[in-house]
Amino acid sequence: MPRVLIVQTTRRSELVDITELVAQEVERAGLKQGLCALFVPHTTAAITLNENADPSVREDLLAFLERAVPWAGPYRHLEGNAAAHIKASLLGASVLIPVQGSRLQLGTWQGIYLAEFDGPRQRRVLLDLVAT
């Protein structure tokens, strides 16, 4: 049964660093070696890995996505949030991270982000751990 992480977002578009939250769950579960699977069961949110040292990288990514997929576009989706659906599809709904020695095997500068594109909302991230 996957664990459920609850993440409260505060803006329409933002990248919320959930690295520490995920790392705590891996440690709490006692997983020594295996895989950490993260999945976002929302069509207007995503999960991604990116740099966590310089916050301007997050700002640049969000600015690029807004230029590429502007909120107000010639969309047919009646709910009015087509841009959020497109952005979420571009980034994806899941990531898989190796675990060794009870630690996420992220790169030196990598962090795990919940990408919100239709907030603010309360989002769920499903976390599943598999021992190898």
- Check which CATH number belongs to the domain holding 68 and give it: 2.60.120.460
Q: What is the pTM of this model?
A: 0.95
Q: What is the pLDDT along the chain (132 residues), one digit of tens a residue?
A: 889 999 999 999 999 999 999 999 999 999 999 999 999 999 999 999 999 999 999 999 999 999 999 999 899 998 999 999 999 999 999 999 999 999 999 999 999 999 999 999 999 999 999 999
What is the number of structural domains in the chain? 1
Q: Are 83 and 75 a contacting pair, CB within 8 Å?
A: yes
Q: How far is CA 37 from CA 30, 48, 67, 119, in A?
A: 15, 12, 30, 24
Domain that holds residue 91: 3-131
